[in-house]
Amino acid sequence: MRCSESREGGRRRVTVDEYVTYQTGGFLIVRKLFAEDEVEELLQHALDLLYGRKELPGLEPPPPDAGEEQLMDRFTRIHMLHRVDPVSERYLLHPRALDVLEALIGPDVLALQTMLFLNPPGRGGQGWHQDSHYILTFPDTLIGVWVALDRADEENGCLWVSPGSHREPVRAHPEHPVTVHSYEAFADLDYAEHASVQDDSVNSLTSVAGRYPRPIPVVLEPGDAVFFHGHLLHRSHPNRSAERWRRAFVSHYCNARSWVPWNHGAPFEGDAANGEHILARGRTHLPFALPRFGTPCAALEAAGPGAAKEHPGADWHPEWARGESFTRARG
Ligand SMILES: O=C(O)CCC(=O)C(=O)O
């Protein structure tokens, strides 16, 4: 008997082949992670925020006379919206995403981060980088989930990955040598010079990616997702299409028993920020946060009835909507 036969229905179960694909290549494509109506909701939400039709605490509305160019320039990505936005919290804690995460990095899953990408024509792009360079978890169990809201392909700036490169240690920024790896323990681990910079001639991770088979574009239809390892070298190019958007909803998670000295650049008490991040699945001996908007998840189950009402105050930071890469957001 397969052990999964004894479990309840309705889950997005991961096959052994999918698990091995993730472990081997450092990424796993899951088609139709979000349903059509869910993608529609997120697309509409993204545009409502961009055009100022919906307001959220900390997200400054555009001036009433703002033209199209000015609106497009407002942000190409907004970080950590789930701290102030019930819609983003709901998709961060989406049960199908958590089902897959439970198999890949679980059983205990901590939800850390959200990014809403807009990328209209001519905008966007980020050079080679490893996400564990920015989001620290000890032991390192970081994983990203990149969900396409528009079709994402080479023309409009899809994600590119370097298959197998997740086996590399994480390279830290020279000015921030705190990393998941101890530099003292390595004989020859170099720093990442200009990580995330799109100019390959200055970004030292370009040559690390070059040690692996050719990078591949991750072409996705709306609702499809790629789950990718925190060490995987990946990048994107600007949207080169004439009129297609490239919108995406991206979240990061780690095993809830990892210690997380990271709060996206915002202050936290003590030497770890676990208490700021939501326990999405399973259990943990470490602190965790409740969902602020009551999205069902393990944190609420653990805290018992009534816990959803006890939201702490919002601590979202306006610079999280400046559209820059998250290089500045260490902490
Ligand atoms: O979507 C992009 O343009 C870059 C996304 C990325 O690098 C990430 O999610 O870590």
Instruction: Report the pLDDT averaged over residues 65-78.
Output: 85
The pLDDT, as a whole number, for residue 315 is 62
More confident residue, 218 or 191: 218
The pLDDT, as a whole number, for residue 169 is 95
Residue whose Cα lies nearest atom 2 of ligand 1: it is 236
- Quickly state the pLDDT bin for 322 (edges 50, 70, 90): low
The pLDDT, as a whole number, for residue 75 is 81
**Number of other residues whose CB lies within 10 A of the CB of residue 44:** 13
The pLDDT, as a whole number, for residue 330 is 35
Helix (H) and strand (E) counts in the chain: 7, 11
- All structural domains of the chain, each given as residue ranges with its CATH number in brackets, are 16-322 (2.60.120.620)
Nearest atom in ligand 1 to the alpha carbon of residue 157 is: 3
**pLDDT of 45 above 60:** yes
Render pLDDT for 105-162 as a digit per residue (tens, 0 to 9).
Answer: 999 999 999 999 999 999 999 999 999 999 999 999 999 999 999 999 999 999 999 9
The pLDDT, as a whole number, for residue 6 is 43
- Quickly state the pLDDT bin for 184 (edges 50, 70, 90): confident
Cβ–ligand 1 contact at 142 (below 6 Å): no
The pLDDT, as a whole number, for residue 318 is 64
Length of the chain: 331
User: Which helix (H) or strand (E) covers residue 34, if one does?
Assistant: none
CA of 159 to the centre of ligand 1 (A): 7
CA of 258 to the centre of ligand 1 (A): 23
Cβ–ligand 1 contact at 126 (below 6 Å): yes
Render pLDDT for 248-279 as a digit per residue (tens, 0 to 9).
Answer: 999 999 999 999 999 998 999 999 999 999 99
**pLDDT of 193 above 70:** yes
**pLDDT of 2 above 60:** no
Cβ–ligand 1 contact at 236 (below 6 Å): yes
Nearest atom in ligand 1 to the alpha carbon of residue 124 is: 3
